[in-house]
Amino acid sequence: MNNQEKTPIYNALLKYKENRIVSFDVPGHKQGKGHKALLEAFGEKCLSMDLNSSKPLDNLTHPTSVIYEAEQLMAQAFGAHHAFFMIGGTTSAVQTMIFTCCKQGDKIILPRNVHKSAINALVLCGAVPVYVNPGINTELGISLGMSVESIKQAIADNPEAKAVLVNNPTYYGVCSDLKEIVRLAHQAGMKVLADEAHGTHFYFGEDLPLSAMEAGADMAAVSMHKTGGSLTQSSVLLMGQSMKENEVRQIINLTQTTSGSYLLMASVDIARKNLALHGRELFKKILDMSEYARQEVNRIPGLYAFGSEIIDQECVYDFDRTKLSIHTRKTGLAGIEVYDILRDEFGIQIEFGDLGNILAIISVGDRQLEIERLLGALSETSRRFKKDPMGLLAYEYINPIVVMEPQKAFYGNKKAVPIKESEGRISGEFVMAYPPGIPILAPGELITKEIMTHIIYSKEKGCVMMGTKDMDMKFIEVMEV
């Protein structure tokens, strides 16, 4: 099977529509006929493809025809042994990887700057984290990748660990030496799991960091919707030859819906075709736009768009140059303040802002016109809003002090205390800014003065904080003593 022109799921939907099937199954809107407002909002063609599993359309939980064919085409396009459609987003793919390799009490080696989905998986399955603190660039205030030496030490100290999870890349575009990490882990009998939520383009572009499948990883979670062009919430789980397809599918089916969205699946099918046939030229264009934007941003006073120059062969083994990550602190503005200014003053929505940086995602849908508009807005922001940078928090990543397992803390006896009085207590819940959804604090970790100050400061600066039961984040649940 090598015809990447094919879109089996999408074609099956078209054929189903042509056959004018009378629907006495779900969904209840019956291709929009029963809901005029829905039809006006989304259009007849969209609703006509919002269908239920049936023999002509296959079944996501046990595919044997068009969905399975689409999975095989996906695997071939990504260079994987097999691929699974994940319509619960990359969150479900990350959690499936961990559930496949770890059960209660098993250790997993992972960086602490993982997405919350990974730590949520530990809460659910009871696996025990062995955190490897990433490198820190204190000038930029960002966490980096994991050094080979830190992985080597973690493996030596925890030979019973079942897997190593790696961000490829991080939210900021930083990559670890994945190929060497794979070699070390496999040598120790451990699986390697890659969170490639922001790395779809690694499989199709040139002059980009190594993809997980090419590096020999056992599994990779890929957000097709982020840089691959499919609909939001649609992702792919890739597996290498070391994994057993039917066992992984069983794990997926523990949590994945039995009513898979054909709109999401068809969008992945169509996006895969586009990437397989045109990915090289698409990502060449994106890379050129990103490099141009980076050069122009670096002409703007107070802004620094960092790139390949931060590579140090240790905690930054490679850098994703399609990422437009911009350090803002020398303008006297926190990243989240620039984020808000761009939206409120210039009508520009970027991906995220933290305390010292912003990130603009440049992808298949962008044109030079939008790049110029962003550059103009950044120049105006620097000119009109620049102020004294004194007093801004210097960095963002804080090494955690893990006191108990996430599952034990999350389900343990807890009580709410004011965040301003929580120093010295053990957290029973998450605290994070979203995006990117990397916990500042996770269940089972000690609340230090530094963490407490960081949370309060982030909230005051305007970061969207979440994770606590208290929606206003004035209180935090801590373990009862």
Average pLDDT, the chain: 93
Give the model's confidence band at 30: pLDDT under 50 very low, under 70 low, under 90 confident, else very high.
confident
Does residue 308 sit in helix, strand or coil? helix
List the one residue out of 190, 141, 187, 157 whose CA is nearest residue 336. Answer: 141
Which homologous superfamily does the CATH classification assign to the domain defined by 280-385?
Answer: Aspartate Aminotransferase, domain 1 (3.90.1150.10)
Q: What is the mean pLDDT of residues 428-443?
A: 88
Residues, the chain:
481
pLDDT of residue 262: 95
Amino acid type, 406: P
Residue 394 has pLDDT above 70, yes or no: no
Question: Which CATH number is 406-479's, of 1.10.150.20, 3.40.1260.10, 3.90.105.10, 3.40.50.11290?
Answer: 3.90.105.10
Contact at 8 Å (CB) between 196 and 171? Answer: no
Confidence of residue 22 (pLDDT cuts 50, 70, 90): confident
0.85 exceeded by pTM:
yes
- pLDDT (0 to 100) of residue 395: 59
Q: Of 203 and 457, which is predicted with more confidence? A: 203
- CA geometry: angle 179, 180, 186, nearest 5 deg: 90
Which CATH class for the 8-276 domain?
alpha beta
pLDDT (0 to 100) of residue 1: 45
Domain boundaries, the chain: 8-276, 280-385, 406-479
- Say if residue 374 is exposed, middle or buried (CB neighbours under 10 Å; 0-12, 13-18, 19+): buried
Question: What are the tens digits of pLDDT across the range 328-369?
Answer: 999 999 999 999 999 999 999 999 998 899 999 998 889 999
Q: How confident is the model at residue 317 (pLDDT cuts 50, 70, 90)?
A: very high
Least confident span in 231-240, 297-306, 352-361: 352-361
Give the residue-averaged pLDDT of 20-28.
Answer: 82
Q: What is the pLDDT of residue 458?
A: 85
pLDDT digits (tens, 9 = 90+) for 238-277: 999 999 999 999 999 999 998 999 999 999 999 999 999 9
Check pLDDT > 60 for residue 5: yes
Instruction: Kindly provide the residue ranges of all beta strands, DSSP E only, lying in 156-231, ordered along the sequence.
Output: 163-167, 174-175, 191-196, 219-222
pLDDT, tens digit, 9 for 90 and up, residues 170-191:
999 999 999 999 999 999 999 9
Q: Which three-class secondary structure state does DSSP give residue 159?
A: coil
Using alpha carbons, select from 376, 393, 403 the residue that is nearest to residue 456. Answer: 393
